Structure formats: structure tokens, C-alpha cells
Amino acid sequence: MKSGSDPDFYMIPDSFKQDLLNRIDVVDVVGRYVKLKKGGANYIGLCPFHGEKTPSFSVSPAKQFYHCFGCGAHGNAIGFLMAYGGMGYVDAVKDLAASCGMQVPEERPRSPEEAARKEREPDLYAVMEKAMEFYRAELKKSPRAIDYLKGRGLTGEIAARFRIGYAPDDWQGLKNAFTEYSSSSLVEAGLVVEADGKRYDRFRDRIMFPILNARGAVIGFGGRVLDKGEPKYLNSPETPLFEKGREVYGLVQARDPIRHAGRALVVEGYMDVVALAQFDVGYAVATLGTATSAVHVSKLLRLADELVFSFDGDAAGRKAAWRALEVSLPLASDNKPIRFLFLPEGEDPDTFIRRHGKDAFEAQVRQADTLSQFLIAHLRSECDLATPEGRARFVSMAKPYIEKMAAPALKVQLVNQIGRLAELSPEDTQRSLDPAHRPAYRRAPAVKREPPSSHEWKLLSRVAAYPSLSADINIDLVSPSLEEAQALRELCGYLAAIDRASKASHALVIEHFQNSTHADVLFEAQGYALDLKESEDESRGFVHYTLRSLEIERKRQTLKDLEKRLERGQLSRDEHLRYGKMISEVRALEQHLVEDARRASK
């Protein structure tokens, strides 16, 4: 599977993924985050991907995948860390590999610089952790810093939850934490600046906010001045551990509140995140002094059902919001709204919630403009819709944004609204905007539906349960027009291409088909297979019975076609012989079916 958004991306060999998925237990991985209890052959619990009171979330130790019968969420251990933990693909693989002592291989060799950097990472994590503990200890020694936090309405509990500290007003304060202040690791970690042969602490006389990665390790810091000064916020530079465009502040603390609220709120400052948490609005995170990136949006949409951006209402805030909208357009989906909140002038989330309280703030969040409202309002402000020229400009300006959208239903709604505002007929709107259909990337769990009842679906569910049965499938008998038949053909083709179908674990099948157009129906079949009360031999007998039924249906259809031609006197001598032979074949197959049914009932 590709994950081009991950740093240092490389293709991970299937052989390694197979070995990794064989060594880990998805029950252990899911069990770190979800309370599970034994229920027959599987483990069950409340689904972490949607709210429910009765458990419909099942984890199979035998098949090594999870499946929710309520919302359709489905995946293996890697997928769970991505969907629940918000990790990128490579990070999820690395996390699992590290848990069982495996080293992720690379198909391309590292450059000497990359090799050195990777070798230094464990040391740098330890350096950052030690620096954080130093800053936290310094906070306790500084009445001025404590008074500042109290003045901002923060309690000691919230400061501890976010591991807030204080960098003393000392050019080389870190010497008290690191006896080897000359170590290159302090510069590599972004804690110390080296210039003109001198060394000094990057952060001085600042409230320190540790930035954590998805696994909770310290990878950087944000420092805020206590008094007036510039820059107001100072962030760690890019380091081997820290890339601003990929991380958000407060995600580790916000992950569970995001799940509970179904919403992620993106704000501009660290103090906004912490102040909101103080008022029990725990689902806020902040970008790190950089513009919103596609990685930010995709990471948060994996965790939340709704994404809200909060920006200042001034020109700079609206410019940043428009940048966030542009980045979000290709990533927006029909079932996960994206909103834009602009608080009254002079207010930010910190000041607003302290002045007006939680209920008033959350009312503002709920009333925030949707992506479509913000887009239309912005475009309208640039055009005079009272004139033909203004309306033509409006359509012309809208077109590139419509083309970026991947959410099909939302795209149609926007196209229709733009057409109405531009006073165009539906035909002219279609011609002017030409909204080409582009399949959206599957980010949300599939919506639960009733499984198909076709023979092809029954075959697919048995092969999903027992991959070795793929060798028994005569793919020529299935209908090429059915989605489940297409999924069956693709699955059997994949299983035939490997050494032995029995080697293909269910978890690896998920990996292989994650981005397939037939992924939803295949994963639904895997989930359906969890409820099958059949042994492999029983399923094999069912497959043979179903294949015979399909063969009878095909031959009966051919017989009907021949009968019509026979009635019109259009059959050739060879076709007469074929007609008689096929009647005998159908009778023989029907007799086999009767015998199969009799044996199955014993």
C-alpha cells in the first residue's frame, strides 16, 4: 500500500507485512484502546468509531481483523492504528514492528545522511523527554510563570495534563539538565542554537508547551512569551523528529474527546487549546505556526466526524481560513462536514470561552459556516451577481474549486447552487462547470447495508472465510456485472498469484485490497464470514453446491434461448444435438444437487 504523505516513504514488501501481521495479535492492539470481552470465538466491545450502547464491534483472533456490524468499520492491526490513532501508514507499521522487535526494511538504500539521522532518533527522543522534565521542574520554581498561568485561568491539573513547563530566563539554562551542553544532540533536537562559535538556549523566559507525536513522545516545543515581546510564539525548528506541516498540538490529549464529541476543532494558538480544555472543550488542537496542510486535514478526518477551523475574523485570519478551505476541498467527504468559525472581532477561543463560557462557545461552533457556505460567500463577495459579467466571473472563479472536490453529493449540491445564483439552466450549469465524476478516497467506515443474496455473494463470503477455497472456484460461472462477482474475481486472482492461498492471512488480504474499488464489498464479506458457523469442509461443500446451482442457471438460460429458436425452426443439426445433450446435463446436475442436499442434512 502506498502512503505518499508519510515521511521517508518507501514501499514495504508484502513478505515483511505478512511476517509482521503474523507476529502481532490484533486483539492486543485494539485492546489497548477498547475494552473487549470474550464472546464465543471472537472478542466484542463498544465500537470506537461510532456511538453505541450495545456492542457491535467484533475482533477476531483467528482471522486477525476487526469488524463493526453497526457502522461497517473494518481493518487489520495496521488499519486500526491509522483509523483510531490518527497515524500515517508507515508510522503505524513502524509502531507495530517496534512492539515485536522487528526492523522495517527499505527497498531503496538510505543516503549516509538519512542513515545517520535514523541512528540518532532514539537519542533525540531521550533528549527531548529530559528537556521537557527540566522545563516542568523549572515551572514549579517560578512564581512569575505560575502566576501567569493562573492569570490565564489554568489550573495545575490542566498544566500537568499538557505537561506545560517554563524555560528560565537564562542563556544556558539547559546546562542544569545536560552536563554535556556541548553535545551535538542538543542542536539537532532544536533546543540549543549554535552561532559564531557560541551556544545558547533557543527558549528563554517562555511558557513551554511540549509537542507530542501520535505515540505520545516529545518531538518539539512551542514557547510563549509571558509579557509583551516578539515573537509571541516560538516553535522548535524542523528536526529529524519534528516536521511542522505534519503535526498538530494537543492531539494526544484531544484524541478521546474528539471521538466522544465526533468533532475536531483546529485553533491558532497553544493557549487556545489549553484554555478550551480547562472549560471541558477537549477536542481542540492547534497547527504549529504554519498554514493548514493536507496532512493535518486527513489526519483529523480519520479521527472525527466533523472538522471545524477557528480563525480570527480579521484579514489575516480569513486568508488563513481560505488556505484551509483550498487544502480541504479534495479531502472533504459527503458524510464528514468541514466548517469555518470566525469569532467576533477582538476575540479568540481563549478570551471568548473565559468571557462567555462553554455553552456560548459551543453554540458558536455549531453555527459555524460550512465549507460550501464559506466558499460561496467568498466568491460572491468578489463578483457583482446583478450583472451578466459578474455572474460569468462568478462561474469562472468557482470552476477550479469545484474541480478539486472529491465528495460526489456535495459537489452536485454546490454545482446546482452556483447555477441558480448565476441564473443558468441545469444544462448550461453542467456545460459551464463540467463536474467530472471522481471517486472519493474511502476515509470513513462503510455504511452498513443488507448483504446481497446472490450466489456470487455466497461464494465470496466463503472464500473470504477460507482463502484456500479459491482453488475450487470456476470464475467463468459468475455474473461479470455484479460487484460481488467482480470482487470475487479479483480476490481469486490475487490468491492464485501467491504460492498457496492458505498462506494468505486475512490481515494481509485487507492490506492488499485496502485501496481496491471492491474493498467495501470484500471487507463486508469478511465481516459476514465472522458469523459463519461452518467448518472449512462444510464451506467447501457449500461452494460446490452453489457452483452447481450457477451452472444449472447458465445452462437453463442457454436452453431457453435454444427453445425459442427451436420453435421458429431455426436450429441446425448440431444445435439439435447440443440441445438434447444439455437437457441431460441439467438433469444430471439437478440430481447431484439433490444428493448434495441429502448428504448435508445427515
Residue 113 is predicted with a pLDDT of 63
Do 121 and 192 fall within a single domain? yes
Assess whether pLDDT exceeds 90 at residue 486: no
Domain boundary among 198, 221, 242: 242
Assess whether pLDDT exceeds 50 at residue 440: no
Residue 105 lies in a domain: no
Comparison of pLDDT for 523 and 66, the residue scoring more: 66
CATH number at residue 23: 3.90.580.10
Residue 321 lies in a domain: yes
Domain boundary among 242, 260, 275: 242
* C-alpha torsion sign, points 507, 512, 514, 516: negative
The per-residue pLDDT for range 276-319, each reduced to its tens digit, is 999 999 999 998 877 888 888 888 888 888 999 998 888 888 88
Q: Calculate the alpha carbon distances from 216 to 29, 125, 249, 252, 267 in Å.
A: 16, 11, 11, 6, 20
Cell of 568: 421458429
Using DSSP, state whether 484 is helix, strand or coil: helix
Residue 375 lies in a domain: yes
Report for 65-79, 88-102, 580-594: range of highest mean pLDDT: 65-79
Cβ neighbors of 543 (< 8 A, separation 6 or more) are 459, 462, 463, 469, 472, 473
Contact present, 402 and 411 (Cβ < 8 Å): yes
Assess whether pLDDT exceeds 50 at residue 438: no
Residue 477 is predicted with a pLDDT of 80
Q: How far apart are CA 376 and CA 397, in angstroms?
A: 10
Assess whether pLDDT exceeds 50 at residue 437: no
> How many structural domains does the chain have?
4
Domain boundary among 191, 220, 242: 242
Residue 117 lies in a domain: yes
Q: Is the pTM of this model over 0.75?
A: no
Residue 422 lies in a domain: yes
Residue 436 is predicted with a pLDDT of 44
Q: pLDDT over 70 for what percent of the chain?
A: 88
Q: How far apart are CA 91 and CA 81, in angstroms?
A: 9
Do 558 and 592 fall within a single domain? yes
Per the rule left: phi > 0, alpha: psi between -120 and 50, beta: everything else, 583 is: alpha
Do 583 and 465 fall within a single domain? yes
pLDDT band at 434 (very low <50, low <70, confident <90, very high): low
Q: How far apart are CA 350 and CA 81, in angstroms?
A: 31
Q: Calculate the alpha carbon distances from 536 to 52, 458, 462, 509, 543 in Å.
A: 33, 14, 9, 18, 10
Q: How far apart are CA 295 and CA 328, in angstroms?
A: 10
Residue 526 is predicted with a pLDDT of 79
Residue 1 lies in a domain: no
Q: How far apart are CA 45 and CA 48, in angstroms?
A: 9
Cell of 508: 494481509
CATH number at residue 518: 1.10.860
Residue 295 is predicted with a pLDDT of 81
Comparison of pLDDT for 3 and 134, the residue scoring more: 134
Residue 365 is predicted with a pLDDT of 96
Assess whether pLDDT exceeds 80 at residue 600: no
Report for 145-159, 440-454, 474-488, 516-530: range of highest mean pLDDT: 145-159
Query: At residue 282, what are phi and psi to the nearest 5 degrees?
Result: -90, 5
Q: How far apart are CA 293 and CA 272, in angstroms?
A: 20
Query: At residue 75, what are phi and psi to the nearest 5 degrees?
Result: 170, 180
Do 288 and 391 fall within a single domain? yes
CATH number at residue 326: 3.40.1360.10
Residue 100 is predicted with a pLDDT of 74
Assess whether pLDDT exceeds 90 at residue 167: yes
Residue 220 is predicted with a pLDDT of 95
Comparison of pLDDT for 101 and 148, the residue scoring more: 148
Q: Which of 114-123, 174-183, 415-424, 484-493 has the lowest mean pLDDT?
A: 114-123
Do 214 and 159 fall within a single domain? yes
Cell of 178: 545536560
Q: How far apart are CA 92 and CA 21, in angstroms?
A: 12
Assess whether pLDDT exceeds 70 at residue 504: no
pLDDT band at 379 (very low <50, low <70, confident <90, very high): very high
Contact present, 34 and 21 (Cβ < 8 Å): no
The per-residue pLDDT for range 219-228, each reduced to its tens digit, is 999 999 998 8
Do 87 and 123 fall within a single domain? no
Q: How far apart are CA 125 and CA 497, in angstroms?
A: 42
Contact present, 349 and 310 (Cβ < 8 Å): yes
Q: pLDDT over 90 for what percent of the chain?
A: 36
Comparison of pLDDT for 559 and 24, the residue scoring more: 24
Q: How far apart are CA 95 and CA 24, in angstroms?
A: 11
Comparison of pLDDT for 216 and 107, the residue scoring more: 216
Domain carrying residue 94: 14-99
Do 316 and 429 fall within a single domain? yes
Assess whether pLDDT exceeds 50 at residue 444: no
Residue 4 lies in a domain: no
Do 424 and 383 fall within a single domain? yes
pLDDT band at 1 (very low <50, low <70, confident <90, very high): very low
Q: What is the mean pLDDT of the chain?
A: 83
Report for 120-124, 336-340, 538-542: range of highest mean pLDDT: 336-340
Q: How far apart are CA 241 and CA 239, in angstroms?
A: 5
Over residues 123-129, the mean pLDDT reads 91
Q: How far apart are CA 113 and CA 351, in angstroms?
A: 45
Residue 277 is predicted with a pLDDT of 96
- Closest-CA residue to 139 (of 212, 224, 201): 224
Residue 121 lies in a domain: yes
The distance of Cα 258 from the centroid of its chain, to the nearest Å, equals 14
* C-alpha torsion sign, points 498, 501, 503, 506: positive
Residue 219 is predicted with a pLDDT of 93
Assess whether pLDDT exceeds 80 at residue 265: yes
Do 176 and 233 fall within a single domain? yes
Do 150 and 280 fall within a single domain? no
pLDDT band at 524 (very low <50, low <70, confident <90, very high): confident
Do 355 and 479 fall within a single domain? no
Residue 198 is predicted with a pLDDT of 92
Do 249 and 238 fall within a single domain? no
Assess whether pLDDT exceeds 90 at residue 460: no
Contact present, 21 and 507 (Cβ < 8 Å): yes
